[in-house]
Amino acid sequence: MMNFWRTMLRNPGGVIGLMILILAVAVAVFGPLLFPTSPWRMVQRPFLPPFTAPGLPLGTDALGRDVLAGIVHGARVSLLVGLVSTMAALAVGIPVGAMAGYFGGRIGDALMRFTEFFQTVPSFALAIVLVAILQPSIVSIVLAIAIVSWPPVARLVRGEVLSLRTREYVQAAVVTGQSHSWIIWREILPNALSPVIVLASLMVATAILLESSLSFLGLGDPNLMSWGYMVGAGRTVIRQAWWITVFPGIAILISVLALNLIGEGLNDALNPRLNKEGR
Amino acid sequence: QEPKTGGVINAVIQPEPPGLMMGLVQNGPTQMVSGNIYEGLLRYSPKLEPLPGLAESWNVSEDGKTYTFKLRKGVTWHDGKPFTSADVVFSIEFLKQTHPRARSNFAQVDKIETPDDSTVIFNLKEPFGPFLGVFEVGSLPMIPKHLYEGTDFKTNPANNTPVGTGPFMFKEWQKGSFIRLVKNPNYYIKGKPNLDEIYWHVIPDAAARAVAFETGKVDVLPGGSVENFDVPRLSKLKNVCVTGAGWEFFSPHSWLWLNNRQGPTANKKFRQAVMYALDRNFAKDVIWNGLGNVATGPSGSSIKYYSSDVPKYDYDPAKAKALLKEAGYNGEKVRLLPLPYGETWQRWAEAVRQNLQDVGINVDMVATDVARWNQRTSEWDYDIAFTYVYQYGDPALGVGRTYVSSQILKGNPFNNVEGYSNPEIDKLFADGAVAFSDSARKPFYDKAQKILVDDVPVAWLLELQFPTITRCNVKNLITTAIGVNDGFRDAWLDK
Amino acid sequence: MSAATAVVSIKNLKLALPPGADRRYAVDDVSLDLTPGKILCVVGESGSGKSMCAHALMGLLPDTIGREAGEIVYDGHNLLALDETGWLALRGRHIAMVFQEPMTALNPLMRIGEQIAEMFEAHNLLTPKERTQKALQLLREVGLPDPERSMRAYPHQLSGGQRQRAMIAMALALEPAVLVADEPTTALDVTTQAQILKLIRDLQRSRNMAVMFITHDFGVVADIADRVIVLQHGKVVEQGAADDVLLRPQHSYTRALLAAVPSMQPPQRAPLAGRAKAVEVVGLDKTYVSGGGWFQPERRVRAANEVNFDILKGETLGLVGESGSGKSSVARLVMRLIEPDQGTIRLGDIDFTRIGGKELRKARSRIQMIFQDPFASLNPRRKVGNIIADGPIAHGTDAATAHKRAGELLGLVGLNASALERYPHEFSGGQRQRIGIARALALEPEIIVADEAVSALDVSVQAQVLNLLEDLKKRLGLSMLFITHDLRVAAQICDRIAVMQRGAIVELKPTAALFSAPEHAYTRELLAAVPGQTSSSRAA
Amino acid sequence: MLAFIAQRLAKAIVVLFAIVVLNFMLIRMAPGDPAVVMAGEAGASDQMFVNQLREKFGLDKPLPEQLFIYVKGIATLDLGFSFRQQAPVSQLIVERLPATLLLTLTAFAISLLLGILFGTLAARFAGTWLDTAVTIFSLIFYATPLFWVALMAILLFSVAVDWLPSFGYETVGANYTGLAHVLDVGAHLILPATTIGLFFMATYSRMTRASMLEVQRHDFVKTARAKGLRNAVIQRRHVLRNALLPVVTLAGLQAGTLVGGAVLTETVFAWPGIGRLMYEALLQRDYNLLLGVFVVCSAMVLAFNLITDLIYRSVDPRIEFAS
Ligand SMILES: Nc1ncnc2c1ncn2[C@@H]1O[C@H](COP(=O)(O)OP(=O)(O)OP(=O)(O)O)[C@@H](O)[C@H]1O
Ligand SMILES: Nc1ncnc2c1ncn2[C@@H]1O[C@H](COP(=O)(O)OP(=O)(O)OP(=O)(O)O)[C@@H](O)[C@H]1O
Ligand SMILES: [Mg+2]
Ligand SMILES: [Mg+2]
* Position A59 pLDDT exceeds 80: yes
pLDDT band at B360 (very low <50, low <70, confident <90, very high): very high
What does the pLDDT look like over A225-240, one tens digit per residue?
988 888 888 887 888 8
- Given a contact cutoff of 8 angstroms between Cβ atoms, the answer to whether C463 and C443 are in contact is no
Residue of chain A minimizing CA distance to C367:
A175
What does the pLDDT look like over B409-460, one tens digit per residue?
887 777 888 999 999 999 999 999 888 788 889 999 999 999 999 999 999 9
The set of residues, in sequence order, having a beta carbon less than 8 Å from that of C74 and lying 6+ positions away, is C7, C8, C90, C94, C95, C178
CA C487/CA C482 separation, integer angstroms? 11
Q: Which of A37-51, B430-444, B461-475 has the highest mean pLDDT?
A: B461-475
- Given a contact cutoff of 8 angstroms between Cβ atoms, the answer to whether B112 and B89 are in contact is yes
The set of residues, in sequence order, having a beta carbon less than 8 Å from that of B473 and lying 6+ positions away, is B239, B493, B494, B495
pLDDT band at A99 (very low <50, low <70, confident <90, very high): very high
CATH number for C453: 3.40.50.300
ipTM: 0.82
Strands B362-365 and C342-347: unpaired
Confidence at residue A271, expressed as pLDDT on a 0 to 100 scale: 59
Count of all residues that appear for chain D in the document: 323
Confidence at residue D69, expressed as pLDDT on a 0 to 100 scale: 84
Position C465 in a domain? yes
The residue-averaged pLDDT of D209-238 equals 88
Confidence at residue A237, expressed as pLDDT on a 0 to 100 scale: 83
Q: Give nearest CA residue, ligand 2 atom 24.
A: C323
The residue-averaged pLDDT of B90-104 equals 88
For residue C171, which phi and psi values (nearest 5 degrees)?
A: -65, -30
User: H/E element holding C191?
Assistant: helix C190-207
Q: Which of C124, C157, C175 is the last residue of a domain?
A: C175
pTM score, whole prediction: 0.84
> Which of C101, C327, C522 to probe ligand 2 with, by most ligand atoms within 8 A of CB?
C327
- Given a contact cutoff of 8 angstroms between Cβ atoms, the answer to whether D241 and C109 are in contact is yes
Q: Give nearest CA residue, ligand 1 atom 22.
A: C51
The set of residues, in sequence order, having a beta carbon less than 8 Å from that of C310 and lying 6+ positions away, is C277, C278, C279, C280, C281
Counting as contact any 3 or more CB pairs under 8 A, the partners of A are B, C, D
Residue of chain C minimizing CA distance to D234:
C122
Q: Which of B353-362, C21-30, C448-457, D15-24 has the highest mean pLDDT?
A: B353-362
Question: With touching defined as 3+ CB pairs under 8 A, do chains C and B touch?
Answer: no
Measure CB to CB from residue C63 to each of A167, A190, A278 and give the nearest one. Answer: A278
Greater confidence (B355 vs C192) lies with: B355
Position C216 in a domain? no
Atom from ligand 1 closest to the CA of residue C52: 18
User: For chain C, how big is the Rg over CA atoms in Å?
Assistant: 25
CB contact (8 A) between residue C118 and residue D227: yes
**Average pLDDT taken over every residue of chain A:** 84
Position C312 in a domain? yes
Q: How far is CA D115 from the centre of its chain?
A: 17
The residue-averaged pLDDT of D95-121 equals 91
CA C296/CA A78 separation, integer angstroms? 49
CA C384/CA A201 separation, integer angstroms? 31
Same domain as C342, residue C460: yes
Question: What top-level class would CATH report for the domain D90-315?
Answer: mainly alpha
The full set of domain ranges for chain D reads 90-315
Same domain as C162, residue C281: no
Confidence at residue D44, expressed as pLDDT on a 0 to 100 scale: 65
Q: For chain C, how many structural domains are there in total?
A: 2
Same domain as C146, residue C292: no
Confidence at residue C115, expressed as pLDDT on a 0 to 100 scale: 92
Task: Determine which of A213-217, B304-308, C521-525 has the lowest per-residue pLDDT on average.
Answer: A213-217
Neighbours of ion ligand 4 (CB under 5 A): C 328
Confidence at residue A3, expressed as pLDDT on a 0 to 100 scale: 62
Cβ contacts from A onto C, under 8 A: 77
Position C421 in a domain? no
Count of all residues that appear for chain C in the document: 540
Q: Measured in angstroms, how far is the CA atom of residue A3 from the centroid of ligand 1?
A: 21
Task: Determine which of A139-143, A179-183, C164-168, D31-35 has the lowest per-residue pLDDT on average.
Answer: D31-35
CA D37/CA D280 separation, integer angstroms? 12
Same domain as C298, residue C166: no
CB contact (8 A) between residue C364 and residue A177: yes
CA distance B155 to chain D (A): 7
Q: Answer positive or negative: Cα dihedral of C197, C201, C202, C203.
A: positive
Please, what are the domains in chain A? 9-274 (1.10.3720.10)
Q: Which of C158, C175, C192 is the last residue of a domain?
A: C175
Q: Give nearest CA residue, ligand 1 atom 16.
A: C49
Amino acid residing at A116: E
pLDDT band at D38 (very low <50, low <70, confident <90, very high): confident
Q: Which of C157, C175, C193 is the last residue of a domain?
A: C175
Contact map slice: C 36-95 vs A, CB within 8 A: 62-65
CA A65/CA A67 separation, integer angstroms? 6
Of D55, D80, D86, the residue nearest D67 (C-alpha):
D80
CA C67/CA C25 separation, integer angstroms? 10
CA B289/CA B231 separation, integer angstroms? 8
Domain containing residue C141: 104-175
The residue-averaged pLDDT of B236-240 equals 92
CA C274/CA C315 separation, integer angstroms? 12
Atom from ligand 2 closest to the CA of residue C326: 18
Position C215 in a domain? no
- In this complex, is the C-beta atom of A15 within 8 Å of any C-beta atom belonging to chain D? no
CB contact (8 A) between residue C154 and residue D225: no
Q: How far is CA D6 from the centre of its chain?
A: 24
The residue-averaged pLDDT of D17-36 equals 80
Measure CB to CB from residue D27 to each of A117, A129, A267 and give the nearest one. Answer: A129
Position C196 in a domain? no
Same domain as C357, residue C468: yes
CA B64/CA A166 separation, integer angstroms? 93
What residues in A contact C364, CB-CB < 8 Å?
174-177
Q: Cis omega before residue B157 (within 30°)?
A: no
- For C24-55, b/e burial (b = at least 16 CB within 10 A) is ebbbbebebbbbbebbbbbbbbebbbbbbbbb
> Which of C101, C299, C328 to probe ligand 2 with, by most ligand atoms within 8 A of CB?
C328
Confidence at residue D320, expressed as pLDDT on a 0 to 100 scale: 58
Which one-letter DSSP state was computed for residue C419?
A: G
Per-residue pLDDT of chain C (540 residues; tens, 9 = 90+): 444 588 899 999 999 888 777 788 889 889 999 999 899 999 988 888 888 899 999 888 887 888 888 889 988 888 888 888 888 888 988 999 998 777 788 998 889 999 999 999 999 888 889 999 999 988 988 888 888 888 888 888 887 888 888 998 898 888 899 999 998 887 777 888 888 888 889 888 988 999 999 988 888 898 889 999 999 988 999 999 988 888 888 898 888 888 888 888 888 877 777 788 889 999 999 998 765 544 445 678 888 999 999 999 889 999 998 888 889 899 999 999 988 999 999 988 888 888 888 889 989 999 999 988 887 889 888 889 999 999 999 988 899 999 999 998 888 888 888 888 888 888 878 888 889 989 998 988 999 999 888 877 778 788 888 888 888 888 888 999 999 888 888 998 899 999 999 889 999 999 999 988 899 999 998 888 888 776 443 333
User: H/E element holding C491?
Assistant: helix C487-493
Q: Measured in angstroms, how far is the CA atom of residue A74 from the centroid of ligand 3?
A: 56
The residue-averaged pLDDT of B8-16 equals 91
Residue of chain D minimizing CA distance to A213:
D145
Ligand that lies nearest to the alpha carbon of residue C327, given by its number in the listed order: 2
| DSSP β-bridge partners for residue B388 | B254
- Given a contact cutoff of 8 angstroms between Cβ atoms, the answer to whether A98 and A91 are in contact is no
